[in-house]
A and B are shown apart, each in its own frame.
Chain A
Amino acid sequence: ETGVTQTPRHLVMGMTNKKSLKCEQHLGHNAMYWYKQSAKKPLELMFVYNFKEQTENNSVPSRFSPECPNSSHLFLHLHTLQPEDSALYLCASSQDTSGGAGSETQYFGPGTRLLVL
């Protein structure tokens, strides 16, 4: 496996379900990100982790709960979601969040398309 992988690729869940999205990066990076992409909207940054520590929570509702057990893995735990949370959820990684040379580019996984009924 190379790059950034995400599972599952598609998920349908009811509003009372609990599910988790998984992301794994094989690039040796230290920073990982969750983004949400809704139809006709730009990608929205949700969470940032750098060296396993959360460094940014972009005012995301608590029904989304991230977890980063190590620099290679990132989870997004979902519970009591709303239909408007239906979207494409993208994971990305970068060297780190230092802003230095080599850290500028984020590499994305294929995404999980989520439908909340």
Chain B
Amino acid sequence: DQQVKQNSPSLSVQEGRISILNCDYTNSMFDYFLWYKKYPAEGPTFLISISSIKDKNEDGRFTVFLNKSAKHLSLHIVPSQPGDSAVYFCAARNTGTASKLTFGTGTRLQVTL
């Protein structure tokens, strides 16, 4: 049973527009969420995170929104740039099992010129 789901395997967005990547989770015990970006032949790179006590966290062009009642989070990238083209993974953590991050399957973002 996949507890973290990224239902869109791929997304194509024009440069300068907003990219919205979505993630849904089923475990109500998750209290911390992270987004990672992965380029080919590299490991995942931490991008931005949010605690369950917040509903928004912003860092430059990247904003993560958390809707706890819907068990949904999203990553907004605006404006999108060609260098943002990568696979984006959503991950979640339950403080009770603090060492364990549960990952989604990833969404491949392609930013076109």
Question: Footprint of A on B, CB under 8 Å?
Answer: 2, 4, 32, 34, 36, 41-46, 49, 89, 93, 95-96, 98-106
Contact = CB atoms under 8 A, between A and B. Distances in A.
Contacts of B100: 45, 48, 56
A69 to B, nearest CB: 19
A40 B6 CA distance: 12
A42 interface: yes
Contacts of B106: 42
Contacts of B103: 42-43
Given A9-B41, A45-B101, A90-B43, 8 more contacts: A4-B43, A42-B105, A90-B44, A94-B99, A97-B98, A98-B98, A105-B34, A111-B42
Contacts of A107: 46
Contacts of A104: 32, 34, 49, 93, 98
A106 interface: yes
Interface of A: 4, 6, 9, 31, 33, 40-43, 45, 48, 50, 55-56, 90, 92, 94, 97-99, 103-111
B34 to A, nearest CB: 7
Contact of A111 (B32, B43, B89): B43
Nearest to B98: A99
Given A42-B2, A42-B4, A105-B49, A50 B41 contact: no
Given A41-B105, A42-B105, A48 B99 contact: yes
B99 A55 contact: yes
9 contacts: A31-B99, A42-B104, A48-B100, A56-B99, A90-B43, A104-B49, A104-B93, A105-B34, A108-B43
Given A41-B105, A42-B105, A110-B41, A97 B99 contact: yes
Contacts of A106: 46, 101
A45 B94 CA distance: 14
A117 to B, nearest CB: 21
A17 B95 CA distance: 39
